[in-house]
Amino acid sequence: MDIRPGRARLTYSAVMIKPNIPLPIIDLNEDDATCAAAIDLACREIGFFAITGHGVAAEATEEITLAALQFFTLPTVVKSRLRVTGANQPYGWAYPDHERLAATRGEQTPPDLKETYAIGSIDRREADQTIDQIFARAPNFWPEQWPEFRYSFETYYRAMSILADRLMGLCAISLGLPKDYFCPFIDRHISALRTSYYPALSGLPIVGQNRAGAHTDFGTLTILARPEGGHSKDDGLQVVTRAGAWIDVPHVPGGLVINIGDLMARWTNDRWVSTLHRVTQKDDINRPRLSIAFFHQPNWAAEITCLPTCLGSNELPKYAPITSGTYLMSKYQESTKDST
């Protein structure tokens, strides 16, 4: 089966899509060619899909969910000891009002209605003290005397790294490339794992305010868990369609949601879509919610330039080459430039 870009449109096999769910569901237990074909179609059409058969242990998700929920209920004075400290320290606890994701698209909105805790790479092999490397290899901040918390986050980070490697291999096949094509670009990836807590509100949001403002993600792909234990079954996650309509992203029991980021869109010359999405405030404002996102980001110095299989004979690259780290840092600083 020829699944290279530019060939005939593919359709999903019956086992990969469910009635009344406006989101492709891909079972990774299928063979690589079948999964790759489904990924290609999903990424062309909407840039979002769900996966099952991903191999991530339920216990790993349950443990990080419990740890995160316990952390976010700690007193502010305790969480503040782990506070994100500035433009070159992106990891730790980010207090409410810290982030405006819509600002990455040039929109001025009220702060997002959430607080977060994030970690970066758990493999610190470099000690370069340039500004770039300070950002890329910023230290992780851990709660004192709580080893189980650190263990749950590091365990989940490793599981996501393995899954991301697998997905990037399938993406390569989808794009008519060798399965290991992306390996040199991601073998020292600078991915972040972030838990976002959307607390119960005492009143309605102000005009223009969302749980998370409309944005696209920055890297290659995002792996999102919406644990039911975190009260996130209907968490307000929405994605915009090619027709410009906002639709809810449904909950898939046991599944993970994948979306394509800006760098993957640039790699594919926009053949694949880095889709605008947001988290809105649903009617039940008194209900808190939790999400767990792994933002896969290529190596700091990886150069992102149009892939040869994504450029037709009469086409030109839409984007100039850019390095992964330069793009990440610029977008992060845009989203937090008004915070204090």
Give the chain's domain count. 1
Per-residue pLDDT, averaged over 2-30, amounts to: 53
Q: Would you say residue 15 lies in a domain? A: no
User: In Å, how far are 62, 136, 256, 279 from 155, measured between CA atoms?
Assistant: 12, 20, 17, 27
Among 66-80, 174-188, 276-290, the range scoring the smallest mean pLDDT is: 276-290
Would you state the pLDDT for residue 13?
Answer: 40
Q: Would you say residue 9 lies in a domain? A: no
Digit-coded pLDDT (tens) for 128-155: 455 566 676 788 999 989 999 999 999 9
Instruction: Please tell me the pTM assigned to this model.
Output: 0.87
Q: What is the largest CA-CA distance in the chain?
A: 60
pLDDT at 8 over 50: no
Residue 214: DSSP 8-state: E
pLDDT at 23 over 90: no
Sign of CA dihedral 13, 169, 304, 317: negative
pLDDT at 4 over 50: no
d(CA 120, CA 117): 11
Would you state the pLDDT for residue 334?
Answer: 72
Which helix (DSSP H) or strand (DSSP E) does residue 135 occupy? helix 131-136
Would you state the pLDDT for residue 283?
Answer: 60
Sign of CA dihedral 66, 226, 96, 216: positive
Residue of 208 and 62 predicted with greater confidence: 62
DSSP string, 4-16: -TTS------GGG
d(CA 198, CA 247): 20
Q: Which residues contact 339 (CB under 8 A, 6 or more apart)?
A: 97, 98, 99, 100, 111
What percent of the chain is predicted at pLDDT more than 90?
52
pLDDT at 340 over 50: no
DSSP string, 233-286: TT--EEEE-TTS-EEE----TT-EEEEE-HHHHHHTTTSS----EEE---S-TT
11-20, 45-54, 239-248, 331-340: which is most confident: 45-54
Q: How much is the mean pLDDT over the chain? A: 83
pLDDT at 125 over 60: no
Q: Would you say residue 108 lies in a domain? A: yes
Q: Would you say residue 7 lies in a domain? A: no
User: In Å, how far are 15, 117, 191, 252 from 21, measured between CA atoms?
Assistant: 13, 31, 30, 9
Q: Would you say residue 235 lies in a domain? A: yes
Q: Would you say residue 10 lies in a domain? A: no
Using alpha carbons, select from 48, 33, 45 the residue that is nearest to residue 2.
33
Residue of 144 and 303 predicted with greater confidence: 303
- Residue 72: give its domain's CATH number: 2.60.120.330
Q: Would you say residue 1 lies in a domain? A: no
Range of the domain at 279: 23-336
pLDDT at 271 over 70: yes
Digit-coded pLDDT (tens) for 159-168: 999 999 999 9
Per-residue pLDDT, averaged over 241-268, amounts to: 91
What percent of the chain is predicted at pLDDT more than 70?
76
Q: Would you say residue 5 lies in a domain? A: no
User: In Å, how far are 17, 19, 34, 58 from 14, measured between CA atoms?
Assistant: 6, 10, 12, 26
